[in-house]
Amino acid sequence: MNTITTPPHKIIGVAVIWNDQQQILIDRRRPEGVMGGLWEFPGGKIEPGETVEECIQREIEEELGILIEVGERLITIDHTYTHLRVTLTVHHCRWLQGIPQPLECAEVRWVNLDELDQFTFPEANSEIIAALRVVGSGGR
Ligand SMILES: Nc1nc2c([nH]c(=O)n2[C@H]2C[C@H](O)[C@@H](COP(=O)(O)OP(=O)(O)OP(=O)(O)O)O2)c(=O)[nH]1
Ligand SMILES: [Mg+2]
């Protein structure tokens, strides 16, 4: 019997949503469950037949009740946690309409780029944040 197992692999579309004040939207994961209580950029699993852009647009409407425009890709991160592998494809997005609501998370807030280090993110996010610091809000 082969008892070696590979961790599940999640393919995720992730949004860095900018508003007109050059702030970014972050959300806090619910306290229970995987990476509970950590902050993240909103997003979720890419469904079969869906492009990453379509996934991001859909997830943001479902999770936050807002409309965005999905723009340029910032970075793609492949990260392996102890029991989980994730591929995060991160796009710059522009807020268009609606007040973000914590429909599937604990909390949401707009923050400036230089405030991001005051929040605890999953390990994979340090590369995203480093890339954001390089392009700043110019990447939108
Ligand atoms: N949305 C998002 N997910 C992230 C970030 N960083 C990071 O490691 N992840 C991980 C956490 C999750 O395991 C996975 C996102 O998958 P998901 O949103 O579909 O899954 P989940 O764990 O929230 O819950 P579920 O839908 O499977 O029940 O990617 C991030 O910045 N944003
Ligand atoms: Mg999620």
Q: At residue 138, does pLDDT exceed 90?
A: no
Which amino acid does the sequence have at 32?
E
The pLDDT confidence band at residue 109, using thresholds 50, 70 and 90, is very high
* CB distance 122 to ligand 1 below 6 Å: yes
Instruction: State the pLDDT at residue 140.
Output: 55
Tell me the pTM.
0.94
- Percent of the chain clearing pLDDT 90 (strictly above): 91
> Would you state the torsion angle of the CA atoms of residues 99, 105, 110, 111, taken in this order, to the nearest 10 degrees?
180
**C-alpha of residue 1 to centroid of ligand 1, in Å:** 32
Exposure letters 44-81 (e unless 16+ CB within 10 A, then b): bebeeeeebbebbbebbeebbebebebbeebbebeeee
Ligand 2 centroid vs 111 CA: distance in angstroms? Answer: 19
Q: 95 pLDDT exceeds 70?
A: yes
Q: What is the ipTM of this complex?
A: 0.92
Q: What is the pLDDT of residue 137?
A: 62
Does residue 102's CB lie within 6 angstroms of at least one atom of ligand 1?
Answer: no
pLDDT-based confidence at residue 25 (cuts at 50, 70, 90) = very high
Alpha helices in the chain (DSSP H): 52-64, 125-135
List of domains in the chain = 13-135 (3.90.79.10)
- Residue 136's pLDDT is 76
